[in-house]
Structures are given as structure tokens and as C-alpha cells.
Structure 1
């Protein structure tokens, strides 16, 4: 079975992590191909996996020229299924099917559905020609159903975490690198610096935590367009001694293992790879009650949820979790077990391949 993944570029996000995990853990009966608009940051990881990657420009959701080239590529390589990621790629996959009707089209929806106007109307039309739709959480599935997209086509398959890579690392030098005392409370969040990721709210909560007299450090892992704004806010609130920008890092398991609590302050999340990766490293998490995030916490006592914008609740949740050692150790014990049982790569790959097989049967 030959499966082509259509993704605009391989950058640093959750969809790219999903794709790499799927390919690395591929079943023997599935061969993967990739088409991108251009090379991105993580393109080298595809090359390391020895996957065939073709560059075909995708200029818009209506790019007929691109669709024709992709259809020709599919004929040449005897592709059975196109799995498309994001809106542009999903529309182009359907258009490619016009030129090569044997294709089966699978959409993967990584976000809560939030389109409006013409795009919303077109999405409903194009969805009729998709053979299957994967939603990465039940919250995503519900958002699609609310737009009258056929629920029979939609299957929820949770993102899978590489638990052999994201695992506790007992000895590392992260605290020494950042000059953090071994007994000081260390918080961490790893996300691109964009408004939707809620760093503004996190900083407000940390300001409240400091005012309660708590000694702590917080690692902000990543980069992005909001970095200057965040640096200015941290300076205004005199949190420079508490908050550390690490930049983009490859050693995420070491950073997580050195930390005490993971914070996910997002405005919205379909479901968070970062939370799952932290839990897989045995780190309890505090997260905003948004999107598909509750689907993680309702399955295990592994952290706490708060409402976005409630900075007092964020500070109190951190304080309560860390000061109650018995509760903290219980959540820590549950964290990795939850990921292994419910959010493993094995589960994701098996369910995805089963969906492939059903779509061509």
C-alpha cells in the first residue's frame, strides 16, 4: 500500500511531529511518500528516514496546476492514498483526485474547526469528496460535525508519543546549565511564541506566584514572533530572574526531566503533543481547559486544569500541586503510564493503518 502525505512544509509543529512518528514506526505493508511546497526546518529528518520527498509548489487552496502535478506523481508511483494535512493541502488532494480518480483521499484535521465565510462553504463541499477524515481529538471531531460534515467519515485517532525517546532521564546537567538550585521549583513550557499559545497569560500567572513568595524558575522553550513582546512584559513585571528563554532546543526530554511541572497556557489546542511528551517524561502538567485537552486529563489523575485567563487559579494550582508532596508523587506516577496506555505511537499507527485499509477495501 503506497501512501502519499501532502504537507506544505516540514517545520517544528505538531503535524510535522505526527508525520515523523508515523513514518518512523511504519508497518511493513505501507510505503510512504511525501510532497511538500518547500523544504522546512525538519526536512532533514525525512531525509534521515530515507523517505522519497518531492517538492511541488502549492500556491493556494485552488491550485489546479499543483493538483495536476500531484496526480501525475501519484500515477507514476502507484499511490493508493493521499493523506493531506491542513486546509490548502486538503483541497488540493481533492482536486488531484479529479485527475486520478483511483486515489483515496484522507484528511487529517489537526485544529479545532474555526473557518467562516467562503472558506467554510468550500470546506463543506470539498469534504464530500474526502474518503476519510482523521480528527486528532473528539473536540476536533465535534467541531467538524457542528459544521455538518458527515460524521460517518470522521474517526478520532489520538496523536502518539515516542515513549522510548520521551522518557525520564535521571541524570542531566540542565539545572547546572541555567544555574538553578536542585531544590528550586522549576516550571517549563515548550511552544512557539505565538499569541494562541498563551505565554502572556502564563507570565501573568507567574507574577501572581512570585507575589505569594514562591521561589521558582520557568523555562520558556521555543521561539516565535511574540518573543520581543514577552521579553518586554517580563521586564515590566520584574520577572527577569524567574523566567529563562532557552531558545529552540533538541534536548526536550532532558529539559522536561529536570523540571517539576509542565505548564500549557494555550488559548486553544486540538490536543497537545507537548503535554503528552511532558507526561511521558513523568512530569505532571497544569493546562488550560480548552479544545481537546480535557480528553487527556479525564483519563488519569496526572495534573490539573484551569480556565484560560484565570491567573490566580494558575498560581494557586502550581502552589497546591508542588506543596502537596503525596498528591504530586501520585500524579507523577500516573503521568507516563497514561501515555503508554492511551497515547502511544503503537496505538496511533495501528489505527491509522486500519483506516487506510478500510478506505481502499
Structure 2
């Protein structure tokens, strides 16, 4: 097996070290995520040269720019029997997406669909959409697989309540992910303010360009000491395992890895009712799902979970069962089956 990728944000040496012994060769190509960056023309040349000289049986590509580039570059070798598989981690056009996304990405993906032998999706909305394209085959799999090996709690795990000065009967809501507009953590802060419950605390693990705005929102709502910004943490699993509820109010997701990891840790969820999240959560069974901007619904979901111990335990049990098919051991079987069929 060989891999072609960008310099991965300057981390290519780290990638080479981690994959040493697993792959025959790692090629670097001059491609970036922005579809309007002219360097992608040079990247197309890089990809075409690799494909034409590689004599590959199967080419697996993902991500919009790389996906388009690879499918264009592979037109010749497909005529000679090479199969191309395009894996979609989340179309940029989806229910509720900005009109510009539909105007730019939808026609490109529709036009490029027949340049692949197979499109694989990781959520049901994308699966149904891809089925309307002119492509020989569309498959759905349960994501790229959550790595359960890294979800084992540390033997010397810190006590997050002790670190933050919280008592055993304080109720912890946690979100894990980049602090950006899409992750929409502001709606949970508003919900916490609305609940006005001295026992509810909100922990955010992650960093991002919305940190100052979120901190200002906390101050405006008088929530100092109730909302805790922990930044980037390597012990997220330990912290999550000690929380009571996981919140993911995102506006857009392909498949929510953070929510799946929280489910594996046994947490009930309060999530957005959007593509991807709807695949793994069910309102009233895994917790509660809400419109991304519905502060009242998020507040009500948190309140109900805090006041109903039995439902919280029931949701935890349901999530521990649901998450099994999203673990890497299972999704690996799905991917291997697809590759074998090609």
C-alpha cells in the first residue's frame, strides 16, 4: 500500500514515523483544502504522475479537493481496470447548509460522481444524496471507527472535580472540540445561564478562535466559576468519564467522533438534531436532540437529565450498546468487505 497526502500542516514527519512499516511509500502532493488556491494545479500534476506510474488496483480518496483531483487524474487508469473509491466524510451541501455551499460544491460533486466506481458515506443523509448521482455504486459505513484503545481511563487519572474545586453532587456538562462557530458552544452557555442552577457546571475541552468571545459571554451572564475552559487536554477521556452529560450543539457534522467517544464512556447526550448526529442519537433514548439554536430545548434537556437519574442511566446503557458498531474493530470489517468487493 502507498499513500499520497499533503504535508499535513507540517506534520508529515510525524505521519511517516507513525506509519513506518505499515506502508510501502508516502508521497507528498501540493494540494490544499481551499478549492480556489492555484497551487492545486501543481498538486494535480503531482497526483497524476503518482497514479500513472503506480500501477494500482484500487485508489481510495477522500476530502473535496483531493477527491476531485484524484478522480480527474485517474481517468486514464480506470479504463485499464483500476478502481476508484471516494469516501465522503461529509458533503459541504446538506440540509440547512448555506446557499453558497449548494451553488459551489453540489454541482461539482454531482458532475464528478461518475469519475468514481464507488462512493462511500458515513451518514445517512449523504448516503441518500449520493444515490441520486450517476455513480455505479454507493455504500454506507458506520464512520471511520473510534479508536477504543485510546479510550481507556488512566490508572492515575486526575479528579476533575478536585481540580476545579467542585463537590461530588455538582452536575457536570462537558463539550469536547474546537472552539469555533460551527461547534456552537455558545448555545450551551446560554442554556446554563437560563437554568440558573448553582449545581450545574459546564466544562469545555479544546481551543479555537472563539475562546475570547465565549469567555466574554460567560462574563456577561455572570457565569464565572460555572463555566470552565480547560484548553487542549491529553486526558480528555479521564475528564469525560467523570462528567454527567455530553453536549454537542454543532451546526454541521459529518459523523460526530466526540459524541461517539462520549457514548463509549457511558454518557447521555444533549446534541443537535443535524446530519451525522441524527445517525448516532435518538431523542428520548440516547438523551435529547435539539435544534442547534434552540437555547430553551438545550436547557430543558440538561434539566431533565439532571433531575431524572433513572433515565440518565437508561440513556447511558443505550449509548454503550449503540456505539459498538462505530468502533474501529467493526468499521474495519466494513471497509475490508468493500475493498474486497472492488
In the other structure, the counterpart of 2:30 is 57
TM-score scaled by length of structure 2: 0.85
**Equivalent pairs, count:** 324
What aligned pairs does 1:1-361 form with structure 2 within 5 A after superposition?
2=1, 4=2, 33-40=3-10, 44=14, 47-50=17-20, 51=23, 52-58=25-31, 61=35, 63-98=40-75, 100-101=77-78, 102=80, 103-114=82-93, 115-145=101-131, 148-150=132-134, 153-159=137-143, 160-167=145-152, 172-173=157-158, 174-210=160-196, 213-298=197-282, 301-340=285-324, 342-359=325-342
Deviations 1:29-51 (A, max 9, x none): xxxx2422444569625522325
Structure-2 separation of matches of 1:287 and 1:46: 36
Deviations 1:148-172 (A, max 9, x none): 4136522111122222332466872
TM-superposed deviation, 1:67: 2.6
SS at match of 1:327: helix
Deviations 1:228-247 (A, max 9, x none): 21111111111121111111
Structure-1 separation of matches of 2:211 and 2:249: 16
Structure-2 separation of matches of 1:43 and 1:190: 27
SS at match of 1:134: strand
TM-superposed deviation, 1:72: 2.8
Deviations 1:63-107 (A, max 9, x none): 443233223334555433332221100111112213544542221
Structure-2 separation of matches of 1:292 and 1:118: 21
Change (3 A) 1:119 1:283: closer
Q: Which blocks of at least 5 consecutive residues in structure 1 are unaligned?
A: 5-32
Structure-1 separation of matches of 2:209 and 2:6: 24
Q: Once superposed, which parts of structure 1, at least 4 consecutive aligned residues long, lie more than 4 Å away?
A: 40-43, 59-62, 75-78, 167-171
SS at match of 2:187: helix
Contact 2:30 2:46 in 1 (8 A): no
Change (3 A) 1:178 1:79: farther
SS at match of 1:189: strand
Change (3 A) 1:326 1:116: closer
Point out the more displaced range, 216-225 or 274-283: 216-225
Contact 1:222 1:246 in 2 (8 A): yes
Structure-1 separation of matches of 2:273 and 2:262: 17
Let me know the Cα RMSD of the aligned residues.
2.6
SS at match of 1:267: coil
TM-score scaled by length of structure 1: 0.81
Structure-1 separation of matches of 2:246 and 2:337: 33
Deviations 1:104-132 (A, max 9, x none): 22212112441333543232221110111
